[in-house]
Amino acid sequence: MARDLTFLSATELGGLLAAGQLTSVELVQTCLARVQAVDGRVHAFNSYDEAAALVAAHESDARRAAGQARGPLDGIPVGFKDVIAVAGQPLTCSSRMLANYVSPYDATVTTRLKAAGAIPLGRLNMDEFAMGSSTENSAFGPTANPWDLSRVPGGSSGGSAAAVAAGELPLTLGSDTGGSIRQPAALCGIVGLKPTYGLVSRYGLAAYASSLDQIGPFARTVDDAALLLQAIAGHDERDSTSFKAEVPDYRADMAKRFGPWRIGVPKEFFGAGLDPEVGAAVQAAIEHYRKAGCEIREVSLPLAAEQAIAVYYLIATAEASSNLARYDGIRYGHRAAKAKDVVDLYFQSRAEGFGDEVKRRIILGTHVLSSGYYDAYYLRAQKVRTLIRNEFAAVLKNCDALLSPTSPTAAFKIGEKSSNPLAMYLTDIYTISVNLAGLPGISVPCGFTAAGLPVGLQLIGRPFDEAGLLSIARHYEQAHDWNSRHPNL
Ligand code: GLN
């Protein structure tokens, strides 16, 4: 009987490659066959370049045959959210604005993955310019949740999450500005990690809100997330916010950390709006740690809970209005066919190129930065951001990690929140403050609702303590088998 590789972890696949029981070409072909079988229904992919992937896979197999394999990722396909540059591949940000744009260069994460021998495979769907929580804001149509095709996969990295959950790819990259890795990971029943701000280079990531954006991994296991993080983390002189820190060997470090840990549970993250089934699954995870001898402490994060959404939508929109100014039909992006003069060309190009949510954010961001409003909105938001950061720093002095739900509900129906921006914004209530504070956060599967929808557990760590955070997440993962369940597609 033919082996079924569909839901194997990257670590397992790497083992088969190393043992000579699988070739990268076979693996890439298996992924492509799965994409062809299911992606018509899931729509995780915006595009993929079969020929380029197979060339890279052949090269990987040749290296291995010559005894020159580059490590655990050599020959493993990795998908990219369509906001991260891969030379010669489309980079659309799921926007009409960039529908025909092909990247002339590699992002730093891409360069590093190629150097590790990974095979870039596919451009994954997302909310336009990473603005959203459901992947419904894509100009190319929504992605469906593999567990229930009538529901959203979360967002904005919904394609990256759905591709892993649907068995199309073992690893993908997403970006997280306010929750866009952790929330779709939770809604799709996989692992998603947002690194500490500054750990992973943003060079070659189309900017949404530069002080919040981070690239991070989606995977089937915590170990796999560590593997992918290892390849992309570390200082880059091309990103001035990239931190000069030694990157530890995450997997070796994780193997040495057994706890018991001090885990803080922010009481405000369990209040109104939390779905009871999600709450119960997260409570059970708290019991797991308590039984393992961890000290569970109730902590309080009032500002993070009450002010984070408002602060985020002032800062993120302000930064977005500036970052997206370059898409004017001249320097970048769609150019309107008919225009009276250059000013009209800007207007028409931007009117035609951007979708409604992106326009809403640009208008809000321009407003909060305008003279007369700057002090009242933007400056004040920055001050509250500092207070939120301090609030987290204070509780993390006495806790190794914080624990909460990732998202207040399991996956919602396609269309359910799309006409109500505020309801959509609230789906990030537990993730958004982590970006404002620049901290690392991970979502791991922690159960299913009665309807069979995945639930995610969020763990928040200390700055640059990804190894600690991954260890704590893996402790839970190893005692449960949620990641052995797969959607029926
Ligand atoms: N949902 C949030 C927003 O729309 C966060 C998105 C993200 O993390 N990219 O801005």
Domain ranges in the chain are: 10-300+393-484
Residue 130 alpha carbon, nearest atom of ligand 1: 9
Q: What is the pLDDT of residue 1?
A: 45
Let me know if 156 is a catalytic residue: yes
Q: Which of 9, 60, 81, 242 is catalytic?
A: 81
Tell whether domain 10-300+393-484 is in CATH 3.90.1300.10: yes
Q: What is the pLDDT of residue 2?
A: 61
Q: What is the pLDDT of residues 82-103, one digit of tens each?
A: 999 999 999 999 999 999 999 9
Ligand 1 centre distance from Cα of residue 146 (Å): 21
Residue 432 alpha carbon, nearest atom of ligand 1: 5
Q: What is the pLDDT of residue 417?
A: 95
Let me know if 322 is a catalytic residue: no
Among 432, 433, 434, 435, the mutation site with the greatest number of ligand 1 atoms within 8 A of its Cβ is 432
- Judged by phi (left if over 0) then psi (alpha if -120 to 50, else beta), residue 372 lies in left
Residue 316 alpha carbon, nearest atom of ligand 1: 10
Q: Are the CB atoms for 132 and 174 separated by under 8 Å?
A: no
Ligand 1 centre distance from Cα of residue 157 (Å): 9
- Amino acid sitting at position 231: A
Ligand 1 neighbours by CB, cut-off 6 Å: 130-133, 156, 176-180, 208, 316, 428
d(CA 214, CA 177): 6
- Judged by phi (left if over 0) then psi (alpha if -120 to 50, else beta), residue 58 lies in alpha
The whole-model pTM stands at 0.98
Q: What is the pLDDT of residues 371-401, one digit of tens each?
A: 889 999 999 999 999 999 999 999 999 999 9
Residue 424 alpha carbon, nearest atom of ligand 1: 1
Segment 352-381 mean pLDDT: 95
Q: Hey, which residues does 299 pair with through a beta bridge? A: 266
Ligand 1 centre distance from Cα of residue 302 (Å): 21
Let me know if 383 is a catalytic residue: no
Ligand 1 centre distance from Cα of residue 83 (Å): 13
Residue 401, CB-side half-sphere exposure with 13 Å CA sphere: 28
Ligand 1 centre distance from Cα of residue 313 (Å): 9
Would you state the structure tokens that stand for residue 390, as one six-digit string? 């301090």
Q: What is the mean pLDDT of the chain?
A: 97
**Which positions ≥6 away from 292 have C-beta within 8 Å?**
259, 260, 475, 479
